[in-house]
Amino acid sequence: MDTREALGSWIDGPKAAAEKMGTDFGYRGERLGLPKEGPGSVAGTGRRIGALFVDGWLCSLVAYGLLARGHQGEANLWTTPLFYVVTVVLMATTGTTVGKRLFGLRVVRLNGGRASIPQVLLRTLLLCLVVPALVWDRDTRGLHDKAVGTVEVRI
Instruction: Place 55 in a pLDDT band, splitting at 50, 70 and 90.
Output: very high
Tell me: pLDDT of 28 over 90: no
pLDDT at 64 over 90: yes
Burial 52-80 (b: 16+ CB within 10 A, else e): bebbbebbbebbbeebbeeeeeebeebbe
For residue 107, how far is the Cα from the chain centroid?
9
Confidence (pLDDT) at 22: 66
Percent of the chain with pLDDT over 70: 86
Task: Assign 20 a pLDDT band (cuts: 50, 70, 90).
Answer: confident
* pTM of the predicted protein model: 0.83
Distance CA 73, CA 80 (A): 13
Q: Which of 24-38, 63-77, 85-99 has the lowest mean pLDDT?
A: 24-38
Averaged pLDDT for residues 129-147: 90
Helix or strand run (H / E) with residue 109: strand 105-109
Instruction: Please give the Cα distance from 121 to 61 (Å, whole number).
Output: 23
Which class for 42: exposed (0-12), middle (13-18), buried (19 or more C-beta within 10 A)?
Answer: buried
In whole angstroms, give the CA distance from residue 72 to residue 103.
28
pLDDT, position 56: 96
Q: What is the mean pLDDT of the chain?
A: 89
Task: Tell me the backbone φ, ψ of residue 115, rounded to 5 degrees.
Answer: -65, 140
